[in-house]
Amino acid sequence: MHTLVQVDQYIINSAEFAIPILDHLRNLVHKADARIEEKMKWGMPFFDYKGTVCHMASFKNHCAFGFWKGSLINDEYGIFKERSEAMGLLGKITSFDDLPADEILIAYIQQAIKLNEDNIKLPPKPKSTEKKELIIPGYLMEALNEDPEALAVFQNFSPSNKKDYVMWLEEAKTEATRLKRLETTLEWLAEGKTRMWKYKK
C-alpha cells in the first residue's frame, strides 16, 4: 500500500476528535517544507527529510506529536511539555487548544529539518555499565495506563518477563498483528499471566 494512503488510513481510523488534529498537523509539516516525505514506522506516521524529522500518533483519548531530535531543538517558545521519553514533546493533545500557534510549530519543524540538513546527530546515549534498561514502547505504556489491573501486574513482573512481552510486540510485522498482540497482552496481564505462561508447567 502506498504510504500516503497508509497515513490517510491511519488518520481515518483514529478517534473522531483526533482526525482534524492529525490532518492539521500533517498539513503544517508539509507547509513547513514541501520536500518532506511520509512514512509509516512502528505503526504511526513519520515525516522524513534527510532522516526523520517528526512523527504523530493518536490514542483513544489524545494525540501526540514529537520531534526525532527534540533534545537538540531550541525550545524558545517553551512549547515542549517535558523533555522526556514520553510520546511526543507537546504532551497530550486533546483539542486544538493544546497546540501552539501554527507559525511556531512550523518554525520548530523547520529547525528540525535544518538539523538533518546540517547532518547534526543526536548525542550518543551514555554507555552505562549497568544492565541495559528495557525501553517500554509508548503505545504499550499508553495502553497500560488505561488498564490499571494490567499495569499493576506488568510493573511487578521481573525484567525478563517484561522483556518477553515487549519483544513480542516489537517483532510484529504489521500494525494489525501488533494491535492483536497488544489486546492479548492486556488480557493476559489482567489475568496475571506471563507471556510464556502456556509453556510453563
pLDDT at 81: 77
End-to-end CA distance of the chain: 43
For residue 90, give the CATH number of its domain: 3.90.1150.200
Residue 85 and residue 178 share a domain: no
Residue 110 and residue 56 share a domain: yes
What is the reported pTM? 0.63
For residue range 133-175, what is the model confidence (pLDDT) as tens digits? 788 888 898 888 888 888 888 888 888 899 999 999 988 888 8
Q: 201 pLDDT band (50/70/90 cuts)?
A: low
The domain of 81 spans 3-117
Three cell numbers written together for 111: 529547525
Using CA of residue 28, residue 29, residue 32, residue 38, what is the dihedral sign? negative
Contact 61, 15 (CB under 8 A): yes
Distance CA 135, CA 15 (A): 26
Average pLDDT, whole number, for the chain? 88
Question: Strand 37-41's sheet: what is its strand order?
Answer: 37-41, 44-48, 52-58, 63-67
pLDDT at 73: 93
Residue 109 and residue 173 share a domain: no
> How many independent structural domains does the chain possess?
2
